[in-house]
Structure 1
């Protein structure tokens, strides 16, 4: 098992597009873990009970499924790399909307439901696009290892986010939501391609001339 994880990690690190998609999805999972830790308090403040916070998770799941159904009708309309980047931004916007609902709207239930639906619109396509990038970038004989490694990293990221959010949300719900939003923004930034250096550009041009 350890050997499979090492083999998968080597391929992920060695493929820039796969590395960016993996890092973005893992950091997004950290933000999602923070949000889930906030759900009971959101339910208590806005929905009439901590247990009702689970309704927000239902909204996330349903909208994620609906978004994937729409994308499935147009599988080649948008590149998976662009979907991963846009999905991270959508999740950041949704979490900022939840934060605004608590700070300004005093926990308006309608705003929270809309924000949860927007969050799902970001989460669902991101996972589907991640699978597409893995399938495209990974050698066929190592796909199993890469999927295993990626899943392990995502689960770890989610658990880390929930663990970090626990003490924060106990002191300040807005603080925890601000943390989730900031992490989601970092997930979007992780998708950006680093600018090419002048030397690499010259090498590319010389290669074309040859």
Structure 2
């Protein structure tokens, strides 16, 4: 529920701004939420890692929800500058929806942990499938304010579940680690990503891939217009994508392939790039096929990334690594979205091939996550 609300949040803010403010103000707030997430991810992760209960996770989710509500109130009363300031503060807590939950979904048993990683990845796909339909239905039935209200209700429901999340902790025997300063933990988390080869490769690969996916997401309405005569047809393509992601995750769970997460991440990223390249063919059938192929790679790609993070992250740094990874992915996706406008001047095909190329580069980087000791070679 929290992830569905999070997926709806950007669209809800943009639709809300159309009636109570202006589209430009909505776009500015949307951008500031993403930028603040890049800063807030590492800091939020340190706080959650040092916690001995799920209270800070619940508080972080509640802060994000209250922040979005305050942004809506400021836009409603046309206090645009105040809305932007609040958006920065709310965005600091945004990575809790992704990284905070993912870090808690683990288990000492390896097989159980792999199934949880698939389940975790599927929750994103399910949110991606449901949120456009919910936002569109709410807008059509109750007006431009309804998507934001529904977003807040979903985030509130997810927040109510947070106190029951299980926080897996193993006591570190060293007194130095237990009494370390938060800034020391922050440096350790960043160093872990930089110096652990598999973790570094997975993080860099996901950033490059999300640059490409952010670019592709902005192009979806243009594909709908060009191939089906309406930009609204893009939402159908996204629904096909999300459904294919859920189906591929179900197959991944049954096959047990996540025992080799490096291989899954690498080839799933290739599959996403191939699907985007198919979309460049410029035919309605190719567009639908492309959505299915992209989805078939998108679900396992995220599951492989999550499993690598669980394998490589030490317990006392796990949440920080997840929230930092979530924040840099959000930023990379935003940069990809910004790159869409200049690339579109050269045509839709050029923009799509650029997004595909980003995924092929990301797959090459992800090949460094293959672990010979785990049978990936």
Q: Which TM-score band (shorter chain)?
A: 0.7 to 0.9
- The structure having more radius of gyration, on CA atoms, is 2
TM-score, normalised to structure 2, is 0.48
Instruction: Provide the residue aligned with 1:158 in structure 2.
Output: 333
Q: Any gaps of 5 or more consecutive residues in structure 1?
A: 103-107, 195-210
- Is 1:86 aligned to 2:267, yes or no? yes
In 2, distance between residues paired with 1:76 and 1:47? 37
In 2, distance between residues paired with 1:132 and 1:165? 31
Q: For residues 35-56 of structure 1, give each alpha carbon's deviation from its aligned partner in whole angstroms, at most 9, with x where no partner exists.
A: 1111111000111201111111
Q: For residues 142-184 of structure 1, give each alpha carbon's deviation from its aligned partner in whole angstroms, at most 9, with x where no partner exists.
A: 1010000000011111111111112212441111111111111
Equivalent of residue 184 in structure 1, options 359, 363, 371: 359
Q: Is the 1:37–1:169 contact (alpha carbons within 8 Å) kept by the matching residues of 2?
A: no
Equivalent of residue 71 in structure 1, options 252, 260, 273: 252
Which of structures 1 and 2 has the larger relative contact order (alpha carbons within 8 angstroms, sep 6+)?
1
Equivalent of residue 167 in structure 1, options 342, 354, 362: 342
- Is 1:129 aligned to 2:304, yes or no? yes
TM-score, normalised to structure 1, is 0.84
Q: 1:76 to 1:95 in 2, by over 3 A?
A: closer
Q: 1:163 to 1:110 in 2, by over 3 A?
A: same
Instruction: Provide the residue aligned with 2:237 in structure 1.
Output: 56
Moved over 6 A (4+): none
Q: 1:121 to 1:15 in 2, by over 3 A?
A: same
Aligned residue-pair number: 188
